Homo-oligomer: A and B are copies of this chain.
């Protein structure tokens, strides 16, 4: 990692989302069934934008044409298992802004223990005529709220 990038990251906003692990989030092995981690990560992603002051996607759909931030890439490393009764803290930030995408990262902790790390690429999406979605350039008003 280059020095500039380090600096960028150390200056970026970090916001924490809290998730409780419930009985029904666990599988027959008694541990969190992994798709549920992505449920919490997705909630943490939107929580980040909400805390930065970005309005609901219905509103950005009207004002900016943006209907959400779909995922285009995720790389996730699971370090420890979790189970029901656990409370997880998910530290989330935007590590990098690109032209038509951004990198959002997550560290999921149970107290001091690292449970997982995740690095995602997401886009701001608009509806495509005839169905489907397409990436739009990062809306400057949203970026300004998040930086």
* Contact surface of A with B, Cβ cutoff 8 Å: 20, 22-24, 26-31, 33-36, 38-39, 42-43, 46, 50, 56-58, 67-68, 70-78, 80-81, 84-85, 125, 132-133
Is there an interface contact between B27 and A46, defined as CB atoms closer than 8 Å? no
Which residue of chain B has its CB nearest to the CB of A21?
Answer: B43
Is there an interface contact between A23 and B27, defined as CB atoms closer than 8 Å? yes
Which single member of B34, B57, B85 contacts A38 (CB below 8 Å)? B34
* Given A28-B30, A30-B28, A36-B35, residue A132 in contact with residue B23 (CB < 8 A): no
Is there an interface contact between B46 and A23, defined as CB atoms closer than 8 Å? yes
CA distance A43 to B85 in the complex (A): 10
- CB A118 to nearest CB in B, in angstroms, measures 9
- Which residues on the B side are within 8 Å of A80 (C-beta)? 132
- Which residues on the B side are within 8 Å of A43 (C-beta)? 20, 22-24
Is there an interface contact between A34 and B71, defined as CB atoms closer than 8 Å? yes
- Which residues on the B side are within 8 Å of A78 (C-beta)? 70-73
